Amino acid sequence: MTVFNRGRAVRDWLLSVDEVSRTLHINDYTTRALVREGFIKPAPRKGFYRLGHVLDGYAEAVRIGRIHAPHARGQNPAYFACPLPMRA
């Protein structure tokens, strides 16, 4: 479960491992590997990660070539589904 706190910056929100995986469109194993390798730093609360650390670590991993960029993946590419119907 995500811990949301009003009055805090978006980058300070805490995400669980499952939410990090769903956000980045990667599996749990890759998420844990990025944490082990130091790309994503854990938050003080066990099992949670700051959104700012997740974004910065993911960008660094893509930049140095540790993982493929979202648009360059053959499997599980990142996408954004529009929940509202488009009107002409």
pLDDT 10s digits, 24-50:
888 889 899 999 999 999 988 888 999
In a domain, 60, yes or no: yes
Examine residue 37 and state whether it is found in any structural domain, yes or no: yes
- The number of distinct structural domains making up the chain is 1
Q: What is the CATH number of the domain that holds 33?
A: 1.10.1660
Is 43 a member of any domain?
yes
At residue 1 the predicted structure's pLDDT band, cuts being 50, 70 and 90, is very low
SS3 for the chain is: CCECCCCCCHHHCEEEHHHHHHHHCCCHHHHHHHHHCCCCCECCCCCEEEHHHHHHHHHHHHHHCCCCCHHHCCCCCCCCCCCCCCCC
Domain enclosing residue 42, as ranges: 10-72
Residue 78 included in any domain = no
HSE of 44 in the Cβ direction (CA atoms, 13 Å)? 1
Per the domain annotation, does 79 fall within a domain? no
Range in 7-16, 40-49, 71-80 the model is least confident about: 71-80
Of 75 and 52, the one with more pLDDT: 52
**Cα 85 from chain centroid?**
27
Quick one: pLDDT at residue 67?
86
Q: What is the pTM for the complete model shown? A: 0.72
Whether 44 maps to a domain, the answer reads yes
**Higher-confidence residue: 34 or 86?**
34
